[in-house]
Amino acid sequence: MGIVTDQSPATLQPAETGLVMSDIEAFAERLNSYLEPEQINLVRRAYYYAEQAHDGQTRRSGEPYVTHPLAVAGILAEMHMDYQSLMAAMLHDVIEDTGIPKTALEKQFGATVAELVDGVSKLTQMDFETKAEAQAENFQKMALAMAKDIRVILVKLADRLHNMRTLGALRPDKRRRIAKETLEIYAPIAHRLGMHTLSTEFEDLGFKAMHPMRSTMIDRAVRSARGHRKELLNKILDALQALLDQHQLPGKVMGREKHLYGIYQKMRGKRKAFSDIMDVYAFRIIVDTPDTCYRVLGAVHSLYKPFPGRFKDYIAIPKANGYQSLHTTLFGLHGVPIEIQIRTEEMEETANSGIAAHWLYKSKDDVINGHHARTRKWLKGVLEMQERAGNSLEFIENVKIDLFPDEVYIFTPKGRIMELAKGSTPVDFAYAVHTDIGNSCIACRVNRRLAPLSEPLQSGQTVEIITAPGARPNPAWLTFVTTGKARSNIRHFLKHQRHAESVALGERLLDKVLTGFETRLADISEQRINSVLAEYGLELMEDLLADIGLGNRMAYVVARRLLLNDSQQDQAADEHAQAEYESDAALAVKGTEGMVVSFARCCNPIPGDPIIGLTSVGRGLEIHQENCRDLSQRKVQPDSTLQLTWDKDVSGEFTVELQVELEQQRGIIAQLATSTNMADASIDKISVDERDGRISIVQLVVRVRDRLHLSQLIKRLRALNGVMRITRLKN
């Protein structure tokens, strides 16, 4: 690439790229306002290095490639980012596109800059099956890097912004793919970091690339509407400014433009016409202190009548991304709605630039202000999700969920405020308080009343979580939780629970076969176990047992490999093990094996029924009745079935489906429910089908302990007046 990696920094010279020498000098001139001369020289050195590294490379537009890193550094310079961020921006594509290793950058520019560049670089040396997997792995790598140094994401956001600004040179399909990724990930991240200006530009550029026709039409309509309402806009603006002068309140009033993607989202999400959205006039009032904000609020409320319930105080309770402002909506001239935001200059700067506002990079030893503290807290949550995610695709799904822009503010019983994503439930709240609270949650009180765990929470509610020792997450929670933290913790717990249960079942299945050889797993040498594990490409015996429990490997085949070595003995062992596997020495089912043992819905076996087990890959052991018609119709391999029996200490409740034929009469369904309850059974589902106006067929799904309990229930139901026939349904 025309660069010597061990060359002294002082000897680096600009390559022949066609760039005018003044480009970097003009950029360096801009940095004089806030960087030291030595720091500017280091940025200049990084530029020359990148120029040589990318020598001969061009962008799709035909420009020298080095114009891109220079533009990225320019975006960061507008945010007044530190010199190391600007150096990383200059070098951000060197590792990925030129083959220069991270160690060479570290030698030239130091470990910090090299780490920043590496954090932004994609994983180019790995092969991925799908683009989605590649995207997820690259994002996961970047997330880990930005958790160590937040500047990684700021460099990446600037890189993405320049790419979005220059999308026109790409193919339409590639434009749409990059725009989709920007709208789903990078715009929400910018919003989460409080960088409103960046987030808005991402959304408008992404919208234009994804839906060019819609973007053009809305843009044209906005320009037209702006001209029509200019007179009224100026009247309101003058009235607000005169009000400030009258009350001697220092401040400036400005009209607030709605961006195209925001208009489009409101039209789609709230099903509003364009005219309804544009009829709302938006203004921003910038003042000197928070105290003045509240005084201005009182003044504007005296000028125009406020809308009830439309006032929000984000100064007392800032948003999760650090945003602060007062929001109110008023009835203006001729009843026109006026949205007003009131904030200080500092709040305005933070709202627009977020974490990059007045940037002073803080190390772990420095005092961290509120905004940085919130960002660190969010990044810590991202790290926790990464640790608990099964793979990169699951991780990126959880992060996307966690990037919802809207929040609700919930109080703990002690008055602490918790920020949660809109639509969050008490389960989300429990996990936000602490992972252990979420895992052991069994019920909740919302504003001191018992409420369902799936109920969406509203801002201002007080939530109390009720826990119980030994309680564990319910898989059904995954259908209604909203936050990434709750989702990743539930999945993590269930995954580990399933693993432990599959190991226990695998050990029982393997011991059953080994018993036929008059031996036990404990009697097999460690050397032989390690040899078999190496054959299967596994590290731990626990993993092998889990595979057996999940049905991924057959117990008798594993037993054969553990016990014997030569081929003649292998054949004898195979016959012996197969015979033992199919023998009458049945495996006892306790009912407490967990998720790796399931009871087939086709025949609903209960304790007392003759049963048989079916092992299937990845699902563990499925229990059927021996005479299950559904099982007999399947093409089941003989070695995947297993003789089972019920353990004498079997416990739990088991599902049974009954069909009750009865004469129609008032209150008969209520009598059925009462009698079921009196028999100490519970109803899961009940449905009624009327026949010829005289007879009703009731399908009753109930839970019982065993066949004796079922017999007692049927006897009680038959005693009811009007019940003609009761049948237990199978298949």
Percent with pLDDT over 70 in the chain: 85
Asked if 496 contacts 538 with a C-beta cutoff of 8 angstroms, the reply is no
Q: H or E stretch including 282? A: strand 281-287
Q: Please report which confidence band the pLDDT of residue 372 belongs to, taking 50, 70 and 90 as the band edges.
A: low
What CA–CA distances, in Å, run from 337 to 302, 304, 312, 331?
Answer: 15, 10, 16, 5
pLDDT for the residue 363:
39
Residues 6+ apart with CB under 8 A from 708: 608
Report, in angstroms and rounded to the nearest whole number, the Rg of the chain calculated over CA atoms. 34
The answer on pLDDT for 337 being more than 80 is yes
pLDDT for the residue 361:
41
Flag the least confident range among 250-254, 576-580, 705-709.
576-580
Q: How far is CA 373 from the centre of its chain?
A: 22
Q: Please report which confidence band the pLDDT of residue 206 belongs to, taking 50, 70 and 90 as the band edges.
A: very high
pTM over 0.85: no
Residues 6+ apart with CB under 8 A from 391: 136
pLDDT tens for each residue of 57-99: 998 888 899 999 999 999 999 988 899 999 999 999 998 888 8
* Rounded Cα–Cα distance for residues 484 and 500 (Å): 24
Highest mean pLDDT, choosing among 39-43, 362-366, 538-542: 39-43
CATH assignment of 9-210, among 1.10.3210.10, 1.10.3720.10, 1.20.1420.20, 3.40.50.300 = 1.10.3210.10
* Rounded Cα–Cα distance for residues 669 and 460 (Å): 42
Asked if 281 contacts 336 with a C-beta cutoff of 8 angstroms, the reply is yes
Q: How far is CA 671 from the centre of its chain?
A: 47
Main-chain dihedrals φ then ψ at residue 473, nearest 5 degrees: -60, 145
* Rounded Cα–Cα distance for residues 602 and 185 (Å): 43
**DSSP annotation string for 457-492:** P-TT-BEEEEE-TT----GGGGGT--SHHHHHHHHH
**Region 358-367 average pLDDT:** 43
pLDDT for the residue 618:
66
**Region 706-726 average pLDDT:** 90
Q: Please report which confidence band the pLDDT of residue 364 belongs to, taking 50, 70 and 90 as the band edges.
A: very low
Three-state SS annotation for 232-260: HHHHHHHHHHHHHHHCCCCEEEEECCCCH
**Region 705-723 average pLDDT:** 90
The yes or no reply on domain 654-728 and CATH 3.30.70.260 is yes
Flag the least confident range among 326-340, 394-408, 588-602.
394-408
* Rounded Cα–Cα distance for residues 246 and 230 (Å): 24
Assigned token pair, 562: 């553990």
pLDDT for the residue 211:
92
Residues forming the active site: 96-97
The answer on pLDDT for 286 being more than 80 is yes
* Rounded Cα–Cα distance for residues 313 and 325 (Å): 7
Nearest to 474 by CA among 451, 499, 441: 441
Burial of 301 (0-12, 13-18, 19+ CB in 10 A): middle
The answer on pLDDT for 204 being more than 90 is yes
pLDDT for the residue 441:
92
Q: Where are the domains of the chain?
A: 9-210, 221-356, 370-491, 493-652, 654-728
The answer on pLDDT for 209 being more than 90 is yes
Burial of 152 (0-12, 13-18, 19+ CB in 10 A): buried
Q: Please report which confidence band the pLDDT of residue 665 belongs to, taking 50, 70 and 90 as the band edges.
A: confident
* Rounded Cα–Cα distance for residues 460 and 483 (Å): 18
The answer on pLDDT for 148 being more than 90 is no
**Region 161-169 average pLDDT:** 91
Q: 370-491 — its CATH code?
A: 3.10.20.30
Residue scoring higher pLDDT (467 or 389)? 467
Main-chain dihedrals φ then ψ at residue 442, nearest 5 degrees: -125, -20
* Rounded Cα–Cα distance for residues 341 and 284 (Å): 5
pLDDT for the residue 635:
67
Q: What angle do CA 178, 181, 187 make, to 5 degrees?
A: 110
Assigned token pair, 302: 């005296």
Residues 6+ apart with CB under 8 A from 394: 488, 491
pLDDT for the residue 402:
64
Residue scoring higher pLDDT (387 or 242)? 242
| Tally: H helices and E strands in the chain | 30, 20
**DSSP assigned state of 64:** B
pLDDT for the residue 322:
79
Q: Strand 587-589 relative to strand 463-467: parallel, antiparallel, unpaired?
A: unpaired
**Region 534-555 average pLDDT:** 83
Q: 221-356 — its CATH code?
A: 3.30.460.10
Q: Please report which confidence band the pLDDT of residue 522 belongs to, taking 50, 70 and 90 as the band edges.
A: confident
Q: Please report which confidence band the pLDDT of residue 403 belongs to, taking 50, 70 and 90 as the band edges.
A: low
Q: Backbone dihedral region of 418: left (phi > 0), alpha (psi from -120 to 50 degrees) or beta?
A: beta
Q: Cβ of 234: how many Cβ atoms within 10 Å?
A: 11
Residue given tokens 């765990």 in the structure block:
453
Tell me what the pLDDT averaged over the chain comes to: 82
Percent with pLDDT over 90 in the chain: 28
Strand, helix or coil at 322?
coil
pLDDT tens for each residue of 289-335: 999 999 999 999 998 899 888 899 999 888 877 789 999 999 887 77
The answer on pLDDT for 574 being more than 60 is no
pLDDT for the residue 370:
60
Q: Please report which confidence band the pLDDT of residue 400 belongs to, taking 50, 70 and 90 as the band edges.
A: low
* Rounded Cα–Cα distance for residues 549 and 499 (Å): 9
Long-range own/partner contacts, residues 406-413 (CB < 8 A, 24 or more apart): 407/319, 407/320, 408/457, 408/458, 408/459, 409/317, 409/459, 409/460, 410/457, 410/459, 410/461, 410/462, 410/463, 411/460, 411/461, 411/462, 411/463, 412/462, 412/463, 412/464, 413/462, 413/464
The answer on pLDDT for 583 being more than 50 is no
**Region 177-190 average pLDDT:** 89
**DSSP assigned state of 523:** G
